[in-house]
Amino acid sequence: MAATARRLESQFQLLQPTIPVLLPPLPAVDSGVSEALKALKGTRGLTTGAELIEALERRRRNQVVPTALEAIDRLLDGGLARGKMTEIAGRGARLSVAVAALASATSTGEAAAFIDLADCFDPQLGESAGIDLHRMLWVRPKTLKQAVSAAEMVIATGFQLVIVDAGLPPLRGRVADAAWVRLARAAEAHGTALLVSTPYPLTGTTSEAMLRAEPSRGRWRGGLLTGVETTLRLEKHRRKRPGESVAVLFHAPEALAVGCWPLADAYTSANGQRRTANG
C-alpha cells in the first residue's frame, strides 16, 4: 500500500521550482552611442528617427571646429563656427593658425580642405603640426576666382572645415563681393566651418567674425629663431563685443624638437638634419 502511495506520489508530484539563480542578472548592453541617443531623447523628447537625424544635424551645426589654440578659441567663443565664415586678415601668423585648425579638425576624423592660393603649404611641417594628411585635401588654384570656385565645390561636397588662404599681396586676381556672400551661404547650407585668410579684409560684412593678425615679431635666442609672436585682435563678431586681443606665440619646429630651453650650441632638428648655431 505504501509502495503504491509512493509510486502515485512520484507520478503526480508537482514540478520542482526552478533552480535559484546564483549570479545577478547581467546588465543590459549599453554603448556610448546609445548613451548619446538617450541624452538626446531625454532632452528633446524625440520619438522618430527623422527627428533624431534633425536633432543631430542641429547639434552638429551649433558646434565649432576648435583651432586647439586656447587663446584663439577663447577669442572666437570656442573656435571656428560651423556654417559660418570667419576671416583672419593682416600681416600676422595667419598660416600658423590655419595649420593648427587643420590639425585639430583632421585629428578628430573630419575631412578638411586647404585652398592654397599662394601654393605655400609644406607637407612635412603640416605632418609635424599634427595634420592627418590623409584627411586633408590640398587645392592649389592660380587665381582668387579659381580659389573661390574651388572652395564652393569642396563646401558642397561636405567638407567640415574649408580654409581659403589668399596668400600675400598683391593678390592674384579679384572676385566680386557677391562671391563671398555666395560662399558664406554655401557654408551655411552645408554646415561647414569656413576660414578665409587674407592679407587685408576682403569679405566685408559677410563674415561672422573677423580677426586682425598684427605683424609678427621674431623671438631669437642664442642667435636662433625660436618662435614668432603675433597679436590677434577680434575686430568683429556677431555674438560678442569686439576689441579683445590676445598674444600668441608660435614655436619654430627646431625649438620644439629640442624640447627644453636654453638651446644647446648644436642640436638635431625635427627632420634629422644637424644644425649649428653661429648667429
- List the interface residues with other proteins, window 207-246 (CB under 8 A): 215-218, 220, 223-225, 227-228, 230
Residues between 76 and 105 with contacts to other proteins, criterion CB under 8 A: 91-96, 98-100, 103-105
- Choose among 136, 132, 124, 126: nearest CA to 107: 132
From residue 215, alpha-carbon distances to 49, 100, 105, 247, 251 in Å are 51, 19, 26, 11, 16
Question: Would you say 150 or 234 has its CB closer to other proteins?
Answer: 150
Instruction: Pick the closer one to other proteins by CB: 110 or 185.
Output: 110
180 binds other proteins (CB under 8 A): no
Residue 18 vs residues 13, 21, 23: alpha-carbon distances, Å: 15, 9, 14
Per CB under 8 A, which region of 2-10, 63-71, 180-188, 234-242 contacts other proteins? 63-71
Q: What are 48's three cell numbers? A: 522618430
Kindly tell me which of 21 and 33 has the beta carbon lying closer to other proteins. Answer: 33
> Amino acid letter at 132?
D
Which residues from 130-159 bind other proteins, rule CB under 8 A?
A: 130, 133-142, 146, 149-150, 153-154, 156-159
- What residues numbered 249-278 form the site for other proteins, per CB under 8 A? 249-253, 256, 271, 273, 275-278
Closest CA to 166 of 88, 86, 68: 88
Among 33, 50, 178, 260, interactor with other proteins by CB under 8 A = 33
Residues in the chain: 279
Strands 209-213 and 85-90: parallel
Residue count, binding to other proteins (CB under 8 A)? 91
